[in-house]
Protein backbone atom coordinates (compact mmCIF):
# COMPACT_ATOMS: atom_id res chain seq x y z
CA UNK A 1 0.00 0.00 0.00
CA UNK A 2 2.86 2.37 0.83
CA UNK A 3 4.41 1.66 -2.57
CA UNK A 4 1.11 2.48 -4.28
CA UNK A 5 0.87 5.81 -2.43
CA UNK A 6 4.45 6.67 -3.33
CA UNK A 7 3.82 5.69 -6.95
CA UNK A 8 0.68 7.85 -7.05
CA UNK A 9 2.57 10.86 -5.65
CA UNK A 10 5.40 10.27 -8.13
CA UNK A 11 2.91 10.13 -10.99
CA UNK A 12 1.11 13.25 -9.78
CA UNK A 13 4.39 15.15 -9.64
CA UNK A 14 5.03 14.33 -13.30
CA UNK A 15 1.52 15.29 -14.40
CA UNK A 16 1.29 18.35 -12.15
CA UNK A 17 -1.89 17.06 -10.48
CA UNK A 18 -0.56 17.16 -6.91
CA UNK A 19 -3.24 16.97 -4.17
CA UNK A 20 -3.58 20.32 -2.31
CA UNK A 21 -2.39 18.90 1.00
CA UNK A 22 0.81 17.63 -0.70
CA UNK A 23 1.44 20.79 -2.71
CA UNK A 24 4.62 21.68 -0.82
CA UNK A 25 8.28 21.65 -1.76
CA UNK A 26 10.97 20.19 0.47
CA UNK A 27 12.49 23.54 1.48
CA UNK A 28 9.00 24.84 2.15
CA UNK A 29 8.15 22.02 4.56
CA UNK A 30 11.29 22.57 6.63
CA UNK A 31 11.03 26.36 6.62
CA UNK A 32 7.34 26.49 7.53
CA UNK A 33 8.00 23.93 10.27
CA UNK A 34 10.58 26.36 11.65
CA UNK A 35 8.13 29.28 11.37
CA UNK A 36 5.38 27.43 13.24
CA UNK A 37 7.81 26.22 15.91
CA UNK A 38 9.12 29.76 16.31
CA UNK A 39 5.58 31.11 16.65
CA UNK A 40 4.86 28.63 19.42
CA UNK A 41 8.11 29.59 21.15
CA UNK A 42 7.24 33.29 20.96
CA UNK A 43 3.74 32.79 22.36
CA UNK A 44 5.13 30.60 25.15
CA UNK A 45 7.61 33.35 25.95
CA UNK A 46 4.80 35.91 26.21
CA UNK A 47 2.90 33.54 28.49
CA UNK A 48 5.84 32.89 30.81
CA UNK A 49 6.87 36.55 31.10
CA UNK A 50 3.38 38.00 31.52
CA UNK A 51 3.12 37.42 35.33
CA UNK A 52 6.34 39.45 35.82
CA UNK A 53 5.09 42.58 33.99
CA UNK A 54 4.61 45.66 36.17
CA UNK A 55 3.64 48.33 33.62
CA UNK A 56 -0.01 48.15 32.51
CA UNK A 57 0.85 49.63 29.12
CA UNK A 58 3.32 46.85 28.40
CA UNK A 59 0.79 44.32 29.63
CA UNK A 60 -1.83 45.65 27.21
CA UNK A 61 0.66 45.50 24.31
CA UNK A 62 1.59 41.92 25.12
CA UNK A 63 -2.03 40.75 25.41
CA UNK A 64 -3.00 42.44 22.14
CA UNK A 65 -0.01 41.01 20.30
CA UNK A 66 -0.49 37.52 21.75
CA UNK A 67 -4.11 37.38 20.60
CA UNK A 68 -3.09 38.46 17.10
CA UNK A 69 -0.18 35.97 16.97
CA UNK A 70 -2.46 33.13 17.99
CA UNK A 71 -4.89 33.82 15.15
CA UNK A 72 -2.07 34.21 12.64
CA UNK A 73 -0.50 30.93 13.79
CA UNK A 74 -3.83 29.13 13.35
CA UNK A 75 -4.41 30.27 9.76
CA UNK A 76 -0.79 29.54 8.80
CA UNK A 77 -1.15 26.03 10.21
CA UNK A 78 -4.53 25.61 8.49
CA UNK A 79 -3.31 26.47 4.99
CA UNK A 80 -0.08 24.50 5.51
CA UNK A 81 -2.03 21.33 6.37
CA UNK A 82 -4.72 21.72 3.69
CA UNK A 83 -2.77 23.49 0.95
CA UNK A 84 -5.83 25.69 0.43
CA UNK A 85 -7.17 29.07 1.55
CA UNK A 86 -7.55 29.37 5.34
CA UNK A 87 -10.89 30.16 6.97
CA UNK A 88 -10.13 33.90 6.77
CA UNK A 89 -7.52 36.18 5.26
CA UNK A 90 -4.49 37.48 7.12
CA UNK A 91 -5.40 40.54 9.16
CA UNK A 92 -3.24 43.66 9.61
CA UNK A 93 -1.83 44.45 13.03
CA UNK A 94 -2.05 48.13 13.96
CA UNK A 95 -0.20 49.61 16.92
CA UNK A 96 -2.14 52.00 19.14
CA UNK A 97 0.60 54.40 20.30
CA UNK A 98 2.45 57.13 18.43
CA UNK A 99 5.71 56.72 16.57
CA UNK A 100 7.80 59.59 17.94
CA UNK A 101 11.34 58.62 18.94
CA UNK A 102 13.60 60.30 21.48
CA UNK A 103 17.07 60.72 20.00
CA UNK A 104 20.36 60.93 21.85
CA UNK A 105 22.20 59.00 24.53
CA UNK A 106 21.95 59.55 28.27
CA UNK A 107 24.22 58.02 30.94
CA UNK A 108 22.98 54.59 32.01
CA UNK A 109 24.19 51.62 34.00
CA UNK A 110 26.09 48.99 31.97
CA UNK A 111 24.06 45.92 31.00
CA UNK A 112 24.92 42.54 32.52
CA UNK A 113 23.29 39.10 32.91
CA UNK A 114 20.78 38.69 35.72
CA UNK A 115 21.83 36.86 38.87
CA UNK A 116 18.32 35.86 40.01
CA UNK A 117 14.71 35.82 38.83
CA UNK A 118 13.94 38.79 41.07
CA UNK A 119 15.81 41.00 38.61
CA UNK A 120 13.27 40.43 35.82
CA UNK A 121 12.06 43.88 34.78
CA UNK A 122 9.84 45.49 32.17
CA UNK A 123 13.00 46.51 30.36
CA UNK A 124 14.13 42.89 30.09
CA UNK A 125 10.65 41.62 29.14
CA UNK A 126 10.06 44.19 26.41
CA UNK A 127 13.56 43.53 25.02
CA UNK A 128 13.06 39.77 24.99
CA UNK A 129 9.76 39.85 23.12
CA UNK A 130 11.13 42.51 20.75
CA UNK A 131 13.90 40.08 19.79
CA UNK A 132 11.29 37.35 19.27
CA UNK A 133 9.28 39.56 16.89
CA UNK A 134 12.40 40.42 14.90
CA UNK A 135 13.25 36.74 14.64
CA UNK A 136 9.73 35.96 13.42
CA UNK A 137 10.03 38.56 10.65
CA UNK A 138 13.28 36.99 9.43
CA UNK A 139 12.00 33.41 9.54
CA UNK A 140 8.76 34.23 7.72
CA UNK A 141 10.58 36.20 5.03
CA UNK A 142 13.02 33.35 4.34
CA UNK A 143 10.22 30.79 4.37
CA UNK A 144 8.10 32.81 1.93
CA UNK A 145 11.03 32.94 -0.51
CA UNK A 146 11.27 29.12 -0.49
CA UNK A 147 7.53 28.38 -0.55
CA UNK A 148 5.97 26.84 -3.66
CA UNK A 149 2.36 26.61 -2.45
CA UNK A 150 0.79 29.94 -3.50
CA UNK A 151 -1.59 30.15 -0.54
CA UNK A 152 1.05 29.43 2.10
CA UNK A 153 3.43 31.85 0.39
CA UNK A 154 0.82 34.62 0.48
CA UNK A 155 -0.05 34.01 4.14
CA UNK A 156 3.63 34.06 5.12
CA UNK A 157 4.36 37.17 3.08
CA UNK A 158 1.34 38.98 4.53
CA UNK A 159 2.48 38.05 8.04
CA UNK A 160 5.89 39.73 7.73
CA UNK A 161 4.57 43.34 7.98
CA UNK A 162 2.70 42.34 11.15
CA UNK A 163 5.93 41.13 12.78
CA UNK A 164 7.57 44.40 11.76
CA UNK A 165 4.69 46.43 13.21
CA UNK A 166 4.81 44.54 16.52
CA UNK A 167 8.57 44.97 16.79
CA UNK A 168 8.25 48.66 16.00
CA UNK A 169 5.55 49.07 18.67
CA UNK A 170 7.84 47.47 21.25
CA UNK A 171 10.83 49.57 20.19
CA UNK A 172 8.74 52.75 20.58
CA UNK A 173 7.67 51.58 24.04
CA UNK A 174 11.28 50.85 25.01
CA UNK A 175 12.50 54.18 23.69
CA UNK A 176 9.79 56.11 25.53
CA UNK A 177 10.87 54.46 28.78
CA UNK A 178 14.59 55.05 28.07
CA UNK A 179 15.28 51.31 27.75
CA UNK A 180 16.30 51.67 24.11
CA UNK A 181 18.34 54.76 23.32
CA UNK A 182 18.83 55.91 19.73
CA UNK A 183 22.06 57.72 18.87
CA UNK A 184 21.96 60.27 16.06
CA UNK A 185 24.59 61.64 13.71
CA UNK A 186 25.23 65.36 13.52
CA UNK A 187 22.91 67.31 11.24
CA UNK A 188 25.75 67.94 8.79
CA UNK A 189 26.74 64.27 8.54
CA UNK A 190 23.10 63.19 8.23
CA UNK A 191 22.42 65.63 5.40
CA UNK A 192 25.60 64.61 3.59
CA UNK A 193 24.60 60.94 3.61
CA UNK A 194 20.93 61.63 2.78
CA UNK A 195 21.93 63.77 -0.21
CA UNK A 196 24.62 61.37 -1.46
CA UNK A 197 22.14 59.72 -3.86
CA UNK A 198 20.30 61.02 -6.92
CA UNK A 199 17.11 59.75 -8.62
CA UNK A 200 17.39 57.35 -11.56
CA UNK A 201 16.10 58.87 -14.80
CA UNK A 202 15.05 57.32 -18.09
CA UNK A 203 15.84 53.93 -19.52
CA UNK A 204 19.39 52.68 -20.18
CA UNK A 205 20.55 53.18 -23.76
CA UNK A 206 20.49 49.50 -24.62
CA UNK A 207 20.95 50.04 -28.36
CA UNK A 208 24.19 51.93 -27.83
CA UNK A 209 25.33 49.31 -25.36
CA UNK A 210 24.54 46.48 -27.80
CA UNK A 211 26.29 48.30 -30.61
CA UNK A 212 29.38 48.68 -28.46
CA UNK A 213 29.26 45.01 -27.53
CA UNK A 214 28.90 43.97 -31.18
CA UNK A 215 31.82 46.19 -32.14
CA UNK A 216 34.00 44.67 -29.45
CA UNK A 217 32.97 41.18 -30.56
CA UNK A 218 33.91 42.04 -34.14
CA UNK A 219 37.30 43.34 -33.08
CA UNK A 220 37.92 40.16 -31.10
CA UNK A 221 37.02 37.98 -34.10
CA UNK A 222 39.34 40.05 -36.30
CA UNK A 223 42.17 39.64 -33.82
CA UNK A 224 41.58 35.90 -33.51
CA UNK A 225 41.56 35.47 -37.30
CA UNK A 226 44.84 37.37 -37.61
CA UNK A 227 46.37 35.18 -34.94
CA UNK A 228 45.40 32.06 -36.93
CA UNK A 229 47.31 33.33 -39.99
Question: What is this structure's pTM?
Answer: 0.79
Reply yes or no on whether the pLDDT at 215 is more than 90: no
What's the per-residue H, E or C state across the chain?
CHHHHHHHHHHHHHHCCCCHHHCCCHHHHHHHHHHHHHHHHHHHHHHHHHHHCCCHHHHHHHHHHHHHHHHHHHHHHHHHHHCCCCCCCCCCCCCCCCCCCCEECCCCCCCCCCCCHHHCCHHHHHHHHHHHHHHHHHHHHHHHHHCCCHHHHHHHHHHHHHHHHHHHHHHHHHHHCCCCCECCCCHHHHHHHHCCCCCCCCCCCHHHHHHHHHHHHHHHHHHHHHHHC
The residue ranges of every structural domain in the chain are 20-102+121-180
Reply yes or no on whether the pLDDT at 228 is more than 60: no
How does pLDDT run across 4-36, given as a tens digit for each residue?
A: 444 444 545 454 566 766 788 888 999 999 999
Higher pLDDT, 219 or 100: 100
Higher pLDDT, 213 or 53: 53
Reply yes or no on whether the pLDDT at 213 is more than 50: yes
CATH number attached to the domain at 20-102+121-180: 1.20.1260.10
Reply yes or no on whether the pLDDT at 106 is more than 60: yes
Amino acid sequence: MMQNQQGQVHQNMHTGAVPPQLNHGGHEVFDVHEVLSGSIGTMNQYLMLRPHVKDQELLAIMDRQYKFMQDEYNITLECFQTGQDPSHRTQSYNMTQGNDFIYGLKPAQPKKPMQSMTEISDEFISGAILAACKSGASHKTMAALETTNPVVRRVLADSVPNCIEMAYELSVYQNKNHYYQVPQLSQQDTQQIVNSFAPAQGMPQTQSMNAGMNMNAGMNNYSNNNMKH
